[in-house]
Amino acid sequence: MSEELQIDDRVLSERGFVVLRDLVDRTLIDEAERVLEVFCERQLAERGIKRRHQDPLVDIMTSDEDYRAFLFPLLRNFFFVQEISSNIGGRLKNDGFLDRQGFRAPLIWPYVRFDLPDETTYTFDFHQDLNSTISKRAFRLWLPLRDADQVHGSIELLPGSHKSGWLPGRDDGMVADAALATMDLDAKSECIAMPAGGGVLFDPLVVHRSVLNRSDRVKIVVMVQIQDAGELIAPDAK
């Protein structure tokens, strides 16, 4: 896919995020599903896991918590995850976005989330991406590989919240209640609904939260980190 990204820098600056459609080609999304199907078939057979759900990933991830902890860091290394990240990085460069935003030494790498149906353990309340930000110049690209909405799980963002800078946090890393009290969350927050392959490019300062997956399938999201090694933040400076 070689079409221009058409990132509106003005909207990104004003709102802190932009919604982008058709970032990942359908053939790559289909390949991701094919790879996951093969993986699931082998896992069910080799570990003797009984299939109880339409999406076998649910059965595999809930069969053994220790084994899930073993699998999770491996799943992010699927080639389709790396390919998506590489393609996105190339398009950001070709579009001129990296140059326009002043990136001198781009760091681009992926992270992947597999959110189980109705599981709240790994969903996050309103927060900013402080812990994963290692550069003064940084963006995130949230990219669902399956349709995202209020039923299937998504992301909810607070437009313009990045202008407040880093906000006081609770002990669990979420934005402090006192800071949230100054924001009209019901009127301003936006839950993203989009088909697989779209994405949201956002500033890590934007206040956002997970939208619980209430479907019968695993929510799969690739998060592409876009940061600048020319503007690193020392660990003791956070």
DSSP states of 169-181 as a string?
Answer: B-TTSSBPHHHHT
Q: Distance (Å, rounded) from C-alpha 35 to C-alpha 37?
A: 5
The predicted structure's pLDDT at residue 188: 86
Whether the per-residue pLDDT at 204 is higher than 80: the answer is yes
Using 50, 70 and 90 to split pLDDT, how confident is the model at 186?
A: low
Strand extents, DSSP E, the chain? 17-20, 106-115, 138-144, 154-157, 190-191, 199-202, 208-211, 219-228
Contact 186, 123 (CB under 8 A): no
CB-count exposure of residue 77 (10 Å: 0-12, 13-18, 19+): exposed
pLDDT more than 90, % of the chain: 84
Using 50, 70 and 90 to split pLDDT, how confident is the model at 2?
A: low
Mean pLDDT of 119-123: 92
CA angle 224, 146, 91 (to 5 degrees): 35
The predicted structure's pLDDT at residue 150: 96
Domains of the chain: 9-237 (2.60.120.620)
Tell me the per-residue pLDDT of 87-110, one tens digit each, with 9 for 90 and over: 999 999 999 999 999 999 999 999
Using 50, 70 and 90 to split pLDDT, how confident is the model at 117?
A: very high
Contact 210, 161 (CB under 8 A): no
The predicted structure's pLDDT at residue 27: 96
* Collapsed DSSP state (helix, strand, coil) of residue 43: helix
Distances (CA, A) of 85 to 60, 72, 140, 174, 197: 26, 18, 11, 27, 12
The region of weakest confidence among 46-50, 95-99, 135-139, 187-191 is 187-191
Q: Distance (Å, rounded) from C-alpha 21 to C-alpha 37?
A: 25
Mean pLDDT of 152-163: 96
The predicted structure's pLDDT at residue 219: 97
Exposure string over 226-237, b if 16+ CB within 10 A, otherwise e? bbbeeeeeeeee
Mean pLDDT of 148-175: 94
Strand extents, DSSP E, 62-151? 106-115, 138-144
Mean pLDDT of 131-156: 96
Using 50, 70 and 90 to split pLDDT, how confident is the model at 183?
A: confident
The predicted structure's pLDDT at residue 1: 53
For the chain, the average pLDDT equals 93
